[in-house]
Structure 1
Amino acid sequence: MLMKIWRKFMSREVISYLIFGVLTTLVNWVVYGMMVKTGVDYRIATAAAWVISVLFAYVVNKIFVFQSYDMHLGFVIKEVISFTTCRAASGVIEMVLMVIMVSWLNMDEYVSKVLVSVVVVVANYVFSKLFIFRNSEEKPL
């Protein structure tokens, strides 16, 4: 039973999603950190970091994680709209959680960012798997 669960979670798709999820998170943190260090309010920095990381995430998820190679314009438009809509939902989750943790609970901005990032990465995988790239087939590396 445990081996079956382990194999399910250690697929090429999950491993590559985690790798590119970490890279997307790093893009998000770097943009956020640079903006906060230059005096930008954490809420604006969170929003800007989200936009840039979504653009990065779409490309790497499409090509490397879910191996969605259909480049027909209609398909790509549908995929981009679905991806952006789901990421907007996770962006709202991120913004709400950051405001709750930083403004209401007086938690450190960076500790909050780490905790929120874990929630967002999991939510984004679920959204991608169920709503965006659901027709992708598992392909060998």
Structure 2
Amino acid sequence: MFNKLKSLYYQYQELIAYAFWGVATTVINVVVFWLLHNFTSWNYIINATIAWILSVLFSYLTNKAYVFHSPSESLMSDFLEMISFFGGRLATLFLEFLMLWIGITLMHQNQILVKIVENVIVIAINYFWSKWLVFRNSQNQKSTSEKE
């Protein structure tokens, strides 16, 4: 039984790490949004933008180090990797704004509930962006080194 669980863990280690750090990123995003919502009179778009910036920076650092194990080859390669990561997240930020607008403005739903639901959707999209476009070289290097 233990060996089966261990085998499953190694098989899905990347997804488990992504889920863990994704939950942590979501918590940061929602808590910052909630704090700004409750302690400022700012528009929800401003609150979401600030929450997004802080959570994406956290997400980049944790994805690089703990999910995709992307090596730092040079300052320039790290910068380009970060630009690609933030670019993908910027695309999903617009999707987030659209979902917030639909859920809050058009459907008059609870802001925090809408925020949580849209975060689940955005996390899934961001995983595939990161895996296939941002950190793909680190995956290839990892797969090659594991086979040797």
Tell me whether the two structures share a fold, i.e. TM-score over 0.5.
yes
- Which TM-score applies when normalising by structure 2? 0.84
**Relative to structure 2, which stretch is displaced further, 82-91 or 131-140?**
131-140
1:50 partner amino acid: W
* Contact persistence 2:96–2:118 (CA under 8 A): yes
Which residue of the partner structure matches residue 3 of structure 2? Answer: none
Is the 1:47–1:95 contact (alpha carbons within 8 Å) kept by the matching residues of 2? no
Calculate the aligned-residue CA RMSD, in Å: 2.0
Give the equivalent residue in structure 1 for 2:106.
Answer: 104
Amino acid at match of 1:67: H
Report what 1:49 is aligned to.
51
Shift of 1:44: 0.8
Mapped to 2, the partners of 1:107 and 1:71 lie a distance apart of 46
1:113 to 95, 115, 121: 115
2:81 corresponding residue in structure 1? 79
**Whole-angstrom distance in 2 between the partners of 1:41 and 1:33:** 12
The number of residue pairs the alignment matches comes to 134
Q: Which runs of 4+ in 1 moved over 6 A?
A: none
| Residue 36 of structure 1: aligned partner | 37
For residues 56 and 62 of structure 1, what CA distance do their matches in structure 2 show? 10
Per-residue Cα deviation, 1:6-38 (whole angstroms, up to 9, x for no partner) = x59x51111000000000000101110000001
TM-score by length of 1: 0.88
1:74 to partner: Cα distance: 1.9
Return the offset for 1:71: 3.7
Sequence identity of aligned pairs in percent?
33
Aligned amino acid, residue 54 of structure 1: V
